[in-house]
């Protein structure tokens, strides 16, 4: 039983974890974590919005922009 295989985490799961952090994540941080280009990250964020996720866009003190998930539609489904 020590040979239990776990499903590898998908890139979309990784992005959702980054966006769920209190400090959020920048386009650059997501690009680095996924090896996606910036336009692909922006497209993914649009896809999340279309799926019902609410994303906050905030300015960092250094002038950068970060995104955070403020509402997750799967959390609402789980509470029903």
CATH number of the domain encompassing residue 71:
1.10.10.10
pLDDT for position 4: 65
- Please indicate, yes or no, if residue 45 is contained in any of the structural domains: yes
Q: Is residue 70 left, alpha or beta, with left meaning phi > 0 and alpha meaning psi from -120 to 50?
A: alpha
**pTM, 2 dp:** 0.80
In 33-77, where do the E strands start and end? 54-59, 65-71
Per-residue pLDDT 10s for the chain (80 aa) are: 556 666 668 999 999 999 999 999 999 999 999 999 999 999 999 999 999 999 999 998 888 999 999 998 877 555 55
Cα distances (Å, whole numbers) of residue 67 to 37, 42, 78 = 16, 10, 24
Distance between terminal CA atoms of the chain? 35
- Please indicate, yes or no, if residue 3 is contained in any of the structural domains: no
Instruction: Residue 49: give the domain boundaries.
Output: 11-78
pLDDT for position 50: 97
């Amino acid at each position: 039983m020590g040979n239990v295989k776990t499903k590898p985490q998908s890139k979309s799961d990784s992005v959702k974890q980054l966006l769920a952090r209190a400090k959020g994540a920048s386009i650059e941080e997501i690009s680095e974590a996924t090896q996606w280009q910036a336009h692909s990250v922006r497209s993914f964020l649009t896809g999340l919005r279309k799926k019902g996720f609410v994303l906050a866009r905030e300015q960092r003190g250094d002038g950068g922009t970060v995104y955070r998930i403020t509402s997750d539609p799967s959390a609402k489904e789980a509470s029903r």
